[in-house]
Structure 1
Amino acid sequence: MSANSRLTVAFHLMTWLANKQLNNVEWVPSEQMAISVNTNPVFIRRILSVLKKANLVQVQHGGKQAGWKLARKASDILLLEVFEALETKPLFDMHHSILNPACHIAQGIQPALRDVYDDVEDSIRRSFSQKSVADLLDRTLNG
């Protein structure tokens, strides 16, 4: 099973835009960001569109100033906001098949896992709520 990289790409884009913001570059074309991620600009625009709906980025179409930028200062955008914009489903899912009603493990595993999964997701949310896009940029540039 392959992992979904959309969140990683979203963090990459937000960090990239934060760096541009730091250097007073206002609007950045998606084609430039696609080069950094080494992927198709259409894929980049799909992710940016999700981030736009969450009011994390802004877009300007047409003309010399076409492109994308952060909607707020990078220090005011929490990683949790990016996470919540991209991850609309629970991180973990239960079995997709009907479990054996005669098996004691099958009957108790889902409630037990639900508690574990909730704890893990709460921990992720807490961690993301303590870091901003500016923090991620600082860590990216300074190790």
Structure 2
Amino acid sequence: MQISMKCSIAVHCLIFIHEAKGIVKVTSNLLAESTGSNPVVIRNILSALKKAGIITVPRGTGGAELRIDPSQITLYQIYTALEPQGVTSLIGIHPCEGRSCPVAQNIRKVLETPYHKIEDAAKEAMEQTTLESMIEEFRGLLSDENGSTPVSLEK
């Protein structure tokens, strides 16, 4: 059980979009090159982020841009844009209620409380993490590398 890789790809894209503003038009092909993902995957992620109101992508011309200030975008917003069920999709319970075994009949009830606590803790941590804080972390890493960029944003 893990947070979908789509979330890390989305954060990668959002940081790239932010850092590329005014330097280069950000397209799904450029983001695919940066992330190492298929352009179709990138377009699906961008579509979900657009639908959530996090980014804007002009029809025809492309060029994704942030629609909201990075300080107002949380990791939880990004995650739920991609995973509509939210953190309840983090931990699943195998289907076994119809079995005659008493453990199988009650395992869902046994796990509900601890799983809800885990989900609540994950949601809280994700709500406290902003895109701005992740951008600052990214920029700090660049400073540690003497200002070099890991990806050229210019084409």
Displacement of 1:54 after TM fit?
Answer: 0.4
The 2-side partners of 1:124 and 1:101 are apart by: 34
Alpha-carbon distance between aligned partners in 1 of 2:47 and 2:109, rounded to the nearest angstrom: 36
Identity, % of aligned positions:
28
What is the RMSD computed on CA atoms of the aligned residues? 2.2
In the TM superposition, what are the counterparts of 1:113-132 in structure 2 within 5 Å? 113-132=111-130
Are the counterparts in 1 of residues 96 and 104 from structure 2 also a CA contact under 8 Å? no
CA distance in structure 2 between the aligned counterparts of 1:26 and 1:133, rounded to whole angstroms: 20
- Deviation of the 1:130 alpha carbon: 0.9
Deviation readout 1:95-143 (Å, 9 max, x if unpaired):
223453342x323321121111111111111111112111111112324
Cα offset, 1:4, TM superposition: 3.4
2:11 corresponding residue in structure 1? 11
Classify 1:140/1:99 alpha carbon distance in 2 versus 1 (closer, same or farther; 3 Å).
farther
Unaligned regions of 5+ residues in structure 2, if any?
142-155
Aligned partner of residue 72 in structure 1, secondary structure: coil
In 1, the alpha carbon distance for the partners of 2:101 and 2:73 equals 49
2:96, 2:105 within 8 Å by CA — same for their partners in 1?
Answer: no
1:77 is aligned to: 73
1:35 aligns to what? 33
Structure-to-structure mapping, 1:1-143, within 5 angstroms = 4-21=4-21, 24-25=22-23, 27-63=25-61, 66-89=62-85, 90-91=88-89, 92-103=91-102, 105-143=103-141
If the length of structure 1 is used for normalisation, what is the TM-score?
Answer: 0.83
Any gaps of 5 or more consecutive residues in structure 1? none
TM-aligned CA deviation for residue 73 of structure 1: 1.5
Counterpart residue identity of residue 86, structure 1:
L
The answer (yes or no) to whether the contact 2:74–2:129 under 8 Å persists in 1 is: yes
Task: String of CA shifts for 1:8-58, please: whole Å, max 9, x gaps.
Answer: 11121112222224xx44741111111110122111011100111100010
> 3-state SS of the aligned residue for 1:60?
coil
Q: Structure 2 vs 1, CA of residues 102 and 39 (structure 1 numbering), >3 Å: closer, same or farther?
A: closer
> Quick one: distance in 2 between partners of 1:2 and 1:54?
22
Secondary structure, in 3 states, of the residue corresponding to 1:127?
helix
